[in-house]
Chains A and B, each alone.
Chain A
Amino acid sequence: MANKLLELLEPSAVKLGIEARDSTDVVRKLGNLLFDAGYVHDTFVQAALARESELPTGLPLGGDYNAAIPHTDVEHVIKPGLAMATLTKPVTFQNMVNPEEAVQVQLVILMALDKPKTQVEMLQEVAGVLQNAQVIERLMAASDFNAVQYAFGVT
């Protein structure tokens, strides 16, 4: 199902059921994990935070859980990868299409993207996940990486 997504999801950058103070905290945590795993330059976290404050990425999903997909410009990225966090308590992101509006987010997928064309499939899979309430439910309930793989339909 979501093969390309799973291929790019860095297991060491998947944090399940964690607490974060705010959106900055979660972006920083995930960004540092991508840095440690060699996906991004040391400028990535600051760039992602700056981008988020100017062009936010909160996405209301219309169900129990909302998501955010922070990302930033390609020059901060070494190789494509994804980090993910599920939060026990929501943090506030601003709505992508309407930055005035706050969105209470519990699923954060931080994306390190280099060239868009090569990652279309993965991006479509991310969108597919966001559109599937059942997958979101399973991700939110996942307590280990295997459960995440299972939620994405790959074992």
Chain B
Amino acid sequence: MAGPKRVLVSCGTAIATSTVVAKGIEEAMAERGIKVITRQCRAAEIRPLASDSDLIVTTTPVPEDLGVPVIQTLAFLTGIGKEEVLDQIEEILKD
């Protein structure tokens, strides 16, 4: 069995929004039977951490050339389009 997937969660200050997003991903993926480890960072420090990640989920704009899938979304805060985003995350992370 494969190890847990690494999801880098980025926002402006890495104290508020990314915390909500990280929890949201952990809980939803647990329900879907996908093991994830999340790590929070500021958008400004994303580049060196990107290559260690299977997926980046961000609430603020990030560079496009990070070499890993990036999902830019406010769904974990506002609820708008949340199911679609969760499906997208599952699709990227599933083996």
Chain A residues within 8 Å of B, Cβ to Cβ? 51, 54-55, 57, 59-62, 69, 71-74, 96-99, 111, 113, 115-117, 119-120, 123-124, 126-127, 130-131
The distance from the CB of B74 to the nearest CB of chain A, in whole angstroms, is 5
Residue of A nearest to B12 (CB): A55
Apart from A60-B80, A123-B19, what are 14 other A-B pairs with CB-CB below 8 Å?
Answer: A55-B43, A57-B12, A59-B74, A60-B74, A62-B80, A69-B77, A96-B60, A116-B14, A116-B16, A116-B40, A120-B20, A123-B17, A124-B20, A130-B77
In contact, B74 and A96 (Cβ under 8 angstroms): yes
CA distance in complex: A30, B18 (Å): 23
In contact, A71 and B16 (Cβ under 8 angstroms): yes
Which of A60, A97, A98, A123 sits near B16, CB closer than 8 Å? Answer: A123
CA distance in complex: A87, B73 (Å): 26
CA distance in complex: A123, B21 (Å): 10
CA distance in complex: A73, B13 (Å): 6
Residue of A nearest to B77 (CB): A127
Which of A55, A60, A62, A120 sits near B13, CB closer than 8 Å? Answer: A55
